[in-house]
Amino acid sequence: MSTAPKIWTRETGLVEKRDVWSAMKRGFRGRCPRCGEGKLFRAFLKTADNCAKCGLDFTPHRADDLPAYLVIVIVGHIVVPAILWIETNYTTPVWLSFAAYLPFTFFASLGLLQPVKGAVVGLQWALRMHGFDENPPDGIPPV
């Protein structure tokens, strides 16, 4: 890393303003976090290389396992209280419980995985994480 002091000028402060919430909402809808028009995904969980409308490069994103962990937390907070409420108030056969809970959990997880990953990519873009910064620090190799 460079130890030279950073000199702040008027041009240094003139960077693109990035709203975190709108970038996450656009990503949640599967759209480009910058313009909100281009597609973020080219397949179910594969991000496109860049935005077709504004040209934003999506390759530096590093969502990794965070979307899966968030989906587990979200679906778990929905399913577990519902199961506890149903099982304490009603007596259902085990086969009926499994027949209801497992498919709901599976489809809810699949349904939330892509939107949550889009929101994570939007968050990374808005916070200039990884390669989404115009001026990456010295000494960090490109991805």
Residue 32 CB neighbours (<10 A)? 26
In angstroms, rounded to a whole number, what is the distance separating the alpha carbons of residues 105 and 66? 18
Residue 47 CB neighbours (<10 A)? 18
Residue type, 54: C
* Contact between residue 76 and residue 30 where contact means Cβ atoms under 8 Å apart: no
* Contact between residue 36 and residue 26 where contact means Cβ atoms under 8 Å apart: yes
Residue 65 lies in a domain: yes
Per-residue DSSP letter, 46: P
Domain that holds residue 77: 19-127
Residue 60 lies in a domain: yes
Phi-psi region of 138 (alpha: psi -120 to 50; beta: other; left: phi over 0): beta
Q: Report pLDDT digits (tens) over 88-124.
A: 999 889 899 899 999 999 999 999 999 999 999 999 9
- The residues near 22 (Cβ < 8 Å, ≥ 6 apart) are 36
pTM across the whole model: 0.80
* Contact between residue 83 and residue 89 where contact means Cβ atoms under 8 Å apart: no
Residue 70 has pLDDT above 60, yes or no: yes
Residue 7 lies in a domain: no
Residue 9 lies in a domain: no
Q: Is the model more confident about 107 or about 6?
A: 107
Residue 5 lies in a domain: no
Split into its structural domains, the chain has a count of 1
